[in-house]
Structure 1
Amino acid sequence: MSGDASGTYSFDRILNFRDVGKTTNQYTGKRLVAEGRLFRSARLDDASVSDRDALRHDIGIKTVMDLRTKSEHVKQAKKREGDLKILVLVKSNDALAKPMEIPGLGYCNININGKGFERTLLWRLSFWNIFKVLILMLFGYRMEAISILGREVMKPRGLIGLGYDTIDYCGAELATAFREFASSPRYPILVHCTQGKDRTGLIICLLLLLLDVPIDAVTYDYTLSEAGLLPEKEERMVEIREIGLTEEFASAPREWIGKMNEYLGEKYGGTREYLEGIGVDGGVQARIIEALLG
């Protein structure tokens, strides 16, 4: 593992990893966010032994907040089972023989795009496609069902529309995540999803806006994901296409953060008001600010 003053790090097999406090402070030239407290990345499933040691001992991560769906977890578990049968992979990566969760770290698994989000996407399908999705799910063909949702609903909504949907329909899950951020023993916390870009990006966006970080600095941190994911872009595109999506969903467009901020303001009155509305009251917000303020 290696890191630089900007807060980005290079690992063997972890992409898009950074210290959110450092990237924000480096961009603004001010100490707005506590450093060494809040980290973000893509998935950790392929982390090497040295990556795992670095997370736990060098960086000092205490808690991993995993925002992925059940389908994503199932897919990665199946991939790992397959990799364990390939001798050359086992020899090249000692971590394959280790548990998927890193021993010594606390795990907080929150499917941010939970039941409300899933129902919303489902009811935007035609009756025939709803029937097909339900039948596929019933017989265990989760990825095939998701590809219908991806092609027919998620692709037309785009990254920005899906961000709005997450804000509107994932309040309970977001509130659960924010209550974890209010607990000091949880820190340092590493937040990730699959790419560490959009679901993770929304969580980080809300946290930074709560801390009154300027919108251009929040945007800067978000857009770092474009370069952070570049080393495995082709592999990621295969996964993205499998669920019926396009290259747009591998990007981190500059306007995304601004659109989320505008939407929060126009529909809910602002970030703090939105958080209040989903059950993250002033006391919880104050504890988060105390934990993360620079």
Structure 2
Amino acid sequence: MTKIITLEGTFNTRDMGGIMNEEGKYVRYNRMIRSDALNKITNHDVEYLEELGLKTIVDFRGKQEIEKAPDIKIAGVKEIHLSPNAEVANLASGNIVDDKVKIDTLIKEASTKEGRARLQARTDEMSEQMRELVNSPYANKQYTAFINLLTNEDNLPLLHHCKGGKDRTGFGAMITLFILDVSLDKVKEDYMLTKKCMCERNEKRMAEYRQYTDNPFVLDYLSGLMQTKEIYFDAAIDEMIKLAGTIPNYLEKYLDVTPEKKAKIKQLFLED
């Protein structure tokens, strides 16, 4: 069973160990951790991660996100930046400093009938973002580099994160579990666990947004970006099937998951 890790400075951190694959083997604990950003972790959190023996942090955030909220450093841990250029995910994970500019833009959009219609149509645009994570050649390159890290034991344990740990991180977790031959239902279950982990944080963010506006079109749009919805997961899977026919074919053709890489990752990540 996936282990939720309670850190003082994060809200969506968990060890991906304990998930059973289709062969009846379990993902090992202390191999891979998924999380939201580490820019607010405390000394106590740092000590906890050090005790885990963490070796690698993969940050999927963009350059501007990192500059505004750099991760707290953990001694001896290498940091690797692999942003897939996910602009909608970037917007969804904004911070209080950026809120006024973001909301002013959305209020202007909602000031016309046409703009309101566009916002309503975009309520679930994270689905399109997930499709882009699947089909974008640039994103493919970043996630291929991520997968390559998983083939080397010297990189493990590895923690990967974006801002909220939902979309860019969720996709990284998704493809890793598929490489490990975890069933579609269990991969989806892991993706949707983020909804529970982020519930309190999302309520707080919406309260912050309401300080700036009571426009229902703007608030619905912002809420949609933050939600963890099955349709977002389903969009990614649908895009994989469209591109390659099957998920294994997608992993091999678009993310260079060769039989050798797959076997190595399974050796490192699955219990005997």
Pairing 1:154-233 to 2, within 5 Å after superposition: 155=122, 158-169=125-136, 170-233=139-202
Residues 155 and 261 of structure 1: CA distance in aligned 2, closer, same or farther (over 3 Å): same
Distance apart, 1:6 and its partner CA: 4.4
- Percent identity over the alignment is 23
Establish whether residue 266 from structure 1 lines up as the match of residue 233 from structure 2.
no
Length-normalised TM-score, structure 1: 0.70
Residues 292 and 258 of structure 1: CA distance in aligned 2, closer, same or farther (over 3 Å): farther
Distance apart, 1:213 and its partner CA: 0.8
Bigger shift: residues 271-280 or 162-171? 271-280
**Residues 15 and 33 in structure 2, CA contact (< 8 A), matched pair in contact too:** yes
Distance apart, 1:18 and its partner CA: 0.8
Establish whether residue 246 from structure 1 lines up as the match of residue 222 from structure 2.
yes
Letter in 1 for 2:243: K
Partner of 2:259: 282
Deviations 1:249-289 (A, max 9, x none): 21111343333223212321223322322334332233222
Q: Take 2:241 and 2:268, find their aligned partners in 1: how far apart are those partners?
A: 25
The alignment partner of 1:21 has SS state of: coil
Q: Take 1:261 and 1:212, find their aligned partners in 2: how far apart are those partners?
A: 15
Partner of 2:40: 46
Identify the match of residue 9 of structure 1 among 2, 5, 8. Answer: 5
The alignment partner of 2:241 has SS state of: helix
Establish whether residue 61 from structure 1 lines up as the match of residue 33 from structure 2.
no
Pairing 1:92-131 to 2, within 5 Å after superposition: 100-113=72-85
Greater per-residue helix proportion: 1
Letter in 2 for 1:276: E
Distance apart, 1:196 and its partner CA: 0.4
Identify the match of residue 30 of structure 2 among 31, 36, 41. Answer: 36
Residues 202 and 45 of structure 1: CA distance in aligned 2, closer, same or farther (over 3 Å): same
Residues 275 and 148 of structure 1: CA distance in aligned 2, closer, same or farther (over 3 Å): farther
Q: Take 2:105 and 2:140, find their aligned partners in 1: how far apart are those partners?
A: 25
Deviations 1:208-245 (A, max 9, x none): 11222111111111111112123322454458x99x85
Pairing 1:56-95 to 2, within 5 Å after superposition: 56-57=50-51, 59-77=52-70
Residues 17 and 166 of structure 1: CA distance in aligned 2, closer, same or farther (over 3 Å): same
Letter in 1 for 2:69: Q
**Residues 66 and 108 in structure 1, CA contact (< 8 A), matched pair in contact too:** yes
Q: Take 1:292 and 1:261, find their aligned partners in 2: how far apart are those partners?
A: 23
Length-normalised TM-score, structure 2: 0.75
The alignment partner of 2:3 has SS state of: coil
**Residues 19 and 36 in structure 1, CA contact (< 8 A), matched pair in contact too:** yes
Q: Take 2:140 and 2:269, find their aligned partners in 1: how far apart are those partners?
A: 21
Distance apart, 1:176 and its partner CA: 1.2
Letter in 1 for 2:229: P
Partner of 2:93: none
Establish whether residue 292 from structure 1 lines up as the match of residue 243 from structure 2.
no
Residues 144 and 275 of structure 1: CA distance in aligned 2, closer, same or farther (over 3 Å): farther
